[in-house]
Chain A
Amino acid sequence: MISLQNLTKDYGSVRAVDHINFEINEGEILGFLGPNGAGKTTTLRMITCFLSPTSGNIEVENMNIKDKQIEIKRLIGYLPEHNPLYIDMTVFDYLKFIADIREISNFSSRIKEVIKQCGLNGVVHKPINTLSKGYKQRVGFAQAILHDPKILILDEPTSGLDPNQIVEIRELIKELGKEKTLIISSHILQEVQAVCDRIVIINEGKIVADGSTEELQSAFQNKTKLILELIAPENKILEISDNIKEVSILSISPLDETTFKVEIEFDSTNDKRAEIFNFIKSKEWVLLEMRRENISLEAVFRNLTIEGGER
């Protein structure tokens, strides 16, 4: 439905987006993830025809961005970052203005649906600058879905909202996602994890990962991290890695005089827990706790973006 081909964008000498390629299929909910300044907004701005690519190409429903901008804009509903609004208009006037530009014919019935869907009852005739941030965000949503677009692009839709509003907005996104192709950009992982089928992670203008939530987790879960709490003489703890093959101790930190917290890592394919337990038993140390730390998507994200940045 949307395909990005070798998309590149330079701002002067700074390369914001660097030869990225991916496709978005119809009906998919895509999470576009990356730290701040990774190139998310720039990419979305190119898809929405606000910026033009330095090189590369975008096709939306087989229409090229170079010569079919108006047609592409008709297909897309876009909620820009920071949600710009004409704050001196009332909600109704604002939506009417958008509807006029989008040439929506059944405005009176459509606006009722959208107001209901976005929970804007009661503020329809208030000026936008008197609304709270959560309501402003809903007005932004209403603007984006007013023409019932096939594709909905939301740039950081929950940034700056309080936790209750975030939950409400997520519900709204989930509901909208049932019938539309959705692209949501975010630097918050849980958000993307909560609503998206597929995740694309971008860092420094390059795509560093692309796949479903589970795929990404399993792909980066090749190491298992084990956390032990044990009572043992400190200078002997290192013997664990000396005596068991393919096990490495990441850190040892004292909890009190006799108790230590030990972090151990080994290959996920080769479970070493029994060996470690037996070794500790043979030394007659006391094992207080042994737990596996699941590598969450958070860790995947950190690995990809922070280490990638340092490399």
Chain B
Amino acid sequence: MNLAITITKKEIKSYFNAPAAYIVLVIFLLLSGWFFASPLFINNQANLRTLFGIIPLLYLFFIPAITMGLLSREKNTGTMELLATLPIKDSQIIMGKFWASVSLIGVGLLLTLVHYITIMLLGTNVDFGAIFCGYIGLLFLGAVYSSIGIFASSITSNQVVSLIISFFIIFFFFIIKFFLFFVPDFMVGIFQFISIDYHFSNIARGVIDTRNIIYFVSLVVLFLKLAQTSLENRNWK
């Protein structure tokens, strides 16, 4: 596990050595702040529900962008050969990259706590529990999307291809809730269970259910395992 953290440190350094991470964070904060603040006084409610509504949508664009290079750049520049011939397991490489992406998302979420301060100052009776759960949910959501992004990054050496693939996989999990009206009754349950928003909104309401946690964790494990498998199958190249 130690070696995975070495990879994480390296990735976080390379995020913050380049302007990309700053640009992503600033735009993420601007957009989330704007979507949060503009209806704040119309709703006149002291909660972060609008924020929790908009961040999953922002994730859809930002997470593919921060994960696209994690493995495909290594493949493209040939450093994958270097990394793969060092005494480190493929699973440790994947985990290191995963934690780096989750950490960057964590930093972004941490910065949105400024909105929490706003409603604390403006409102009364702020429901800390619901907000805390909402952030937990966002972190899990970010973890799932990161694992999808890393999987997409592992199957190609082209960052743009990686971006498009991860965008569409995430989009599938994101959009599926809108199709619930069109599917036959007996399949609604399955579709609902696949829909990521169903699980996220449960947590965001303040209910942390093991079913939702298991759903998130198993998606993370599934995509990271797939990424690991595709990394191990470098042989045909």
Q: Give the Cβ gap from B43 to chain A, nearest Cβ, in Å.
A: 44
Contact of A86 among B6, B79, B87, B236 (CB under 8 A): B79
Chain A residues numbered 79-116 whose CB sits less than 8 Å from any CB in chain B: 80, 82, 84-89, 93, 97-98, 100-103
- Assuming the A-B contacts A50-B85, A88-B14, A102-B86, are A12 and B236 also in contact, with contact meaning beta carbons closer than 8 angstroms in the complex? yes
Closest to B78 in A: A84
B17 on the interface (CB 8 Å rule)? yes
How far, in whole Å, are A49 and B88 apart by their CA atoms in the complex? Answer: 11
Contact of B236 among A11, A71, A89 (CB under 8 A): A11
A63 on the interface (CB 8 Å rule)? no
- Assuming the A-B contacts A73-B86, A82-B78, A84-B82, are A50 and B10 also in contact, with contact meaning beta carbons closer than 8 angstroms in the complex? no
How far, in whole Å, are A285 and B221 apart by their CA atoms in the complex? Answer: 88
Chain B residues numbered 62-79 whose CB sits less than 8 Å from any CB in chain A: 77-79
Q: Give the Cβ gap from A161 to chain B, nearest Cβ, in Å.
A: 18
Is A84 a contact of B81 with CB atoms below 8 Å? yes
Q: In the complex, which residues of chain A have a beta carbon less than 8 angstroms from the beta carbon of B6?
A: 97, 100-101
Is A85 a contact of B79 with CB atoms below 8 Å? yes
Please report whether the interface of chain B is mostly helix, strand, loop or mixed according to DSSP.
helix
Closest to A74 in B: B87
Is A84 a contact of B77 with CB atoms below 8 Å? yes
B121 on the interface (CB 8 Å rule)? no
**What per-residue 1/0 map shows which CB atoms of A205-246 lie under 8 Å from chain B?**
000000000000000000000000000000000000000000
Q: How many residues of A contact B (CB 8 A)?
A: 30
Closest to B10 in A: A97
- Assuming the A-B contacts A97-B6, A100-B6, A101-B3, are A49 and B85 also in contact, with contact meaning beta carbons closer than 8 angstroms in the complex? yes
Contact residues on B (Cβ < 8 Å of other chain), bracket = 20 to 34
Q: Give the Cβ gap from A88 to chain B, nearest Cβ, in Å.
A: 6
Q: Give the Cβ gap from A260 to chain B, nearest Cβ, in Å.
A: 54
A117 on the interface (CB 8 Å rule)? no
- Assuming the A-B contacts A73-B85, A80-B81, A97-B10, are A88 and B234 also in contact, with contact meaning beta carbons closer than 8 angstroms in the complex? no
Q: In the complex, which residues of chain A have a beta carbon less than 8 angstroms from the beta carbon of B14?
A: 86, 88-89
A65 on the interface (CB 8 Å rule)? no
Is A52 a contact of B3 with CB atoms below 8 Å? no
B84 on the interface (CB 8 Å rule)? yes
- Assuming the A-B contacts A45-B81, A88-B17, A101-B3, are A50 and B234 also in contact, with contact meaning beta carbons closer than 8 angstroms in the complex? yes
How far, in whole Å, are A71 and B79 apart by their CA atoms in the complex? Answer: 21
How far, in whole Å, are A2 and B160 apart by their CA atoms in the complex? Answer: 41
Is B235 a contact of A52 with CB atoms below 8 Å? yes
B49 on the interface (CB 8 Å rule)? no
**What per-residue 1/0 map shows which CB atoms of A60-76 lie under 8 Å from chain B?**
00000000001101101
Q: In the complex, which residues of chain B have a beta carbon less than 8 angstroms from the beta carbon of A93?
A: 13
Q: In the complex, which residues of chain B have a beta carbon less than 8 angstroms from the beta carbon of A51?
A: 234-235
Closest to A51 in B: B235
Q: Give the Cβ gap from A245 to chain B, nearest Cβ, in Å.
A: 57
A32 on the interface (CB 8 Å rule)? no
Is A80 a contact of B78 with CB atoms below 8 Å? yes
A48 on the interface (CB 8 Å rule)? yes
- Assuming the A-B contacts A12-B236, A88-B17, are A48 and B85 also in contact, with contact meaning beta carbons closer than 8 angstroms in the complex? yes
**What per-residue 1/0 map shows which CB atoms of A127-156 lie under 8 Å from chain B?**
000000000000000010000000000000
Is B81 a contact of A50 with CB atoms below 8 Å? yes
Q: In the complex, which residues of chain A have a beta carbon less than 8 angstroms from the beta carbon of B80?
A: 84
Q: In the complex, which residues of chain A have a beta carbon less than 8 angstroms from the beta carbon of B10?
A: 86, 97
Q: In the complex, which residues of chain A have a beta carbon less than 8 angstroms from the beta carbon of B235?
A: 51-52
A78 on the interface (CB 8 Å rule)? yes
Q: Give the Cβ gap from B148 to chain A, nearest Cβ, in Å.
A: 25
Is A101 a contact of B88 with CB atoms below 8 Å? yes
Q: In the complex, which residues of chain A have a beta carbon less than 8 angstroms from the beta carbon of B236?
A: 11-12
B115 on the interface (CB 8 Å rule)? no
B89 on the interface (CB 8 Å rule)? yes
Is A76 a contact of B85 with CB atoms below 8 Å? yes
Q: In the complex, which residues of chain B have a beta carbon less than 8 angstroms from the beta carbon of A101?
A: 3, 6-7, 86-88
Given contacts A70-B89, A74-B87, A80-B78, 16 further A-B contacts (CB under 8 A): A49-B85, A50-B84, A50-B85, A52-B235, A73-B85, A80-B82, A80-B85, A82-B78, A84-B79, A84-B82, A86-B10, A88-B18, A97-B6, A97-B10, A98-B86, A103-B3
What residues of chain B have their CB less than 8 Å away from a CB belonging to chain A? 2-3, 6-7, 10, 13-14, 17-18, 77-82, 84-89, 234-236
Which 6 A-B pairs give the minimum distances between C-beta atoms? Answer: A84-B78, A73-B87, A100-B6, A48-B85, A84-B79, A80-B81
Q: List 15 A-B contacts (CB under 8 A).
A: A11-B236, A50-B84, A51-B235, A52-B235, A78-B82, A80-B81, A82-B78, A84-B77, A88-B18, A89-B13, A97-B6, A97-B10, A100-B3, A101-B86, A143-B82
What residues of chain A have their CB less than 8 Å away from a CB belonging to chain B? 11-12, 45, 48-52, 70-71, 73-74, 76, 78, 80, 82, 84-89, 93, 97-98, 100-103, 143
